[in-house]
Structure 1
Amino acid sequence: MATFKHISSKNADYGAAEQYLTFEHDEFTMKPTLDGNGRLVLRDDYRISSLNCGDEDFAIACMRSNLKYGKNQKREDVKSHHYIISFDPRDAPDNGLTADRAQALGEEFCKEHFPGHQALVCTHPDGHNHSGNIHVHIVINSLRIAEVPLLPYMERPADTREGCKHRCTDAAMEYFKAEVMEMCHRENLYQIDLLNGSKNRVTEREYWAKRKGQAALDKENASQSATGEPPKQTKFETDKEKLRRTIRTALSSAVSFEDFSGKLLQQGVTVKESRGRLSYLTPDRTKPITARKLGDDFDRAAILETLTINAQNAARAAETPAPRQEYPRSIKDRLQRGKAAINAPKNDGVQRMVDIAAKKAEGKGRGYEKWATLHNLKQMAATMSVYEESGFSSPEELEAALAAASAELNSVHAKLKAVESTLREKKDLQKQLLAYIKTKPARDGLRAQKTEKARRAYREQHESEFIISESAARYFKAQGISKLPATKSLQTEIEQLTKEKNALYNEYREKKENVRELQTVKSNLDKILRREPERGKGRENER
């Protein structure tokens, strides 16, 4: 589940960025780590490269460009932009993601979305607290040293000009996140929906507050343990975490908004509604915390939806005794009722039984035969347990369920391919449209010429623009497009198609896992049924 983050910097020392990427730093103070001789400690493993710097160092190339164009000379100027793509820790063992592959993806992302900028691309194979997530740092000089094409996230003509600066707007971040999700789908990596928020929104400031608070608490507990005093608390909670827990506790038993606000008030928390948005005021604060800073689970729509469900459950409980709730876990129930989409494949299901005779013919020894016999016994028991719990009464019913699951998988796959094809067409149209729009000044200038001689001279002077314009016009004609769409509406359509593709991709992975599990059960069951007569004959001989 790759994530995407942006940090802007006003530090005029461009060498500090490269130093942070290549040398170890204290994760709390951000100061360089020194060895016993007071020298910087190089990171154990990293990949780094520079773009658009020529033969010069990144810092020297950036400062030379700033002096040439007279930019980034003031203290308040944003000197550089730092983007971070963090991949899921499971991508390395499950999908073969390596630091070299991540570095190549980072360089490709930088060239495509930040053309004309001097940049550093650096990959670290491990994240904070040894989480194991490979992540890529992209640091660009805010100044653009070459004219570039108009990209979808750019809003002004100055965003393409040489000597102007990069702007990271909200629209740009939405576009970058969509592109990161598209990259993960293309490379078959784990991903989450970065465009629709999160249930618990943890900001960078809250993340580091928790890390520092936990470190301080661990230090205090260690000193107490040394004196034989038991620790009172082992897990540190930020104020926002405590507030989230308080809200969820009150929400779990509330049946109306008045009931909900009353339960919160008993805990000293005041809930307020303004312009359709909720905010929460705790006793130790003078300024309330908005629901947006806590997460999507705490906004007005989510709270009212949960309260409605609670009220309906309470009404049903008053009418009839509440039956024991059973959570379907069998294969048949999952196929009939559906299950929430997941990204990670399950590794704890039934596995295929081994054909011991075939393996022995390949040259496997007695050690392998002993392991395979034990493995087959375990999988035989697991298969029969799943078969009985799933409610299948015959192998034919299992085959019918497998056929139905395969049909659903093929249907979702066809829909996914159709959406992918439409998305590619829309992106091609967007590329041609942006190129055509950029040539508008040249086309207007040609119409302004009064004589044929002046028009020929003007056309020769701007030949490259007219080649691009005519190529785009041929594309529009071939596609049967008589009226060009608006760039914003086209971008919105692309984002909607990306969301639809993400949902279909998750559904496809779930159904594929269901089919694989059914195929495993069927394969094992066939082996079991074929061996039952042999076991019965052996027992008769023994008698």
Structure 2
Amino acid sequence: MAATRLITLHMNKGRTLLQCLQDRTNYAMNPDKTENGELVTAYACDPKSVSQEFLLSKRDYEQKTGKKPKGDVIAYQIRQSFKPGEVSPEVANRIGYETAMRFTKGDHAFIVSTHTDRAHVHNHIIYNSTNLSCDKKFKDFWLSGIALGRLSNLICLENGLSVIAPQPFHSKTTYIHGERKPTFRDGLRENIDIALSKKPKNFDDLLMELSSLGYEIKRGKHIAVRGKGQQRFIRFRSLGRGYTEDDLQKKIEGVVKGAEAKKKTPDYRDDSFDLLLNLQDIIAKGKGPGYETWAKKFNVKNVMKAILFFQEQGLRSYAELEKRAGDASERFDKLSSDIKAYEKRLKEISELRGNIITYSKTKQIYTQYRQSGYSKKFFAEHKDEIMAHKAAKDSFNKITGRLPSVKELNAEYEEVLSQKRAAYAEYKQVKKDMQTYQVAKYDIDKILGIDGQQKETKHQEHTR
């Protein structure tokens, strides 16, 4: 599960554009929060010089369009927070990269920084408001925050994570752009739900789970807790219906009784509604007989859909389904790796091409500098050109063999770009296939009651 928020970044009073960009990007890439920079990835830019690259693109935009609007948005930030314990930092970073790529459609440079300094892993994604062609700006369309949340949910589903239930447009949630920040009580309710998901045996176990999530427990006539950053304790009875001590006691008792009973109905999933159904949990929470009846019908529909899928795909065994799901996943991973390699090479070509052009443009100035006997006065007058020339020349030393021409680099760039486009076209189809097979496999596992060691046994039975 990932909660998202879209934030516009503007110029701060008394700060230059570069300083404002550096403030945002430096905070996002803080090595103390990103495992010494290991959890920072980027697209179409270098994390070490991202603020300078964003600045240069804005200057190119002004030259191309002649526009210089006041109070303009300099960048956008996506905050993407994951449910504690559900995802590793590496997977969270990959999901953040995928979210940014699909939300910007690959038209804007961005960095993805995954922070691990809190109980919940979260991403800070900063993307340039100016596109890669430097001729347009990102348009913050109406309800863009909701669109971002839906995209994040979809990517979470594709990666086997839980999702946030759809919210009405007027709902005061923390997941939609422009709405209020979560309160300490909101965070406490969410963490209580997380603690309950671990099936505590009694109320003391629930308090221990909250303690492990960073809450201080205060016992007395009315039990209260205090989380990180809070000044005052919060009593359970102030959290509202479903979160009072009595309500939580009933929930825990219901879960324990449900776990002790023999489970007659397996779990099913229907991704078209972003729901994870667990019939036993529904009964334990006291949703009522009407809801239980609906859930049973819902699960029957899932069984029918799974059987129909088997027929349409010509699948005759569990082993076939498992193989197709595995093949699709492997191909998806291979294409993802290829696309990243193509992007890396395109960036290398662009940098080398730029260095060659810079070297050529500044060669005459540098020659005059040498002829002047490396005059300090001449250096002061032409410092930028001389330093750029030296930097370009130093970069050539890293190249083994003959230095390619700009024409050769242009040809290679077009070839690699063509390969990337072809790979990305297949990537979209393979991703769709992988999602289809993984969802089908999940449903079949649940229908057959397969989990853990049972999967290996069932696999052997179908391959005999």
Q: Given the two structures, how large is their TM-score scaled by the length of structure 2?
A: 0.40
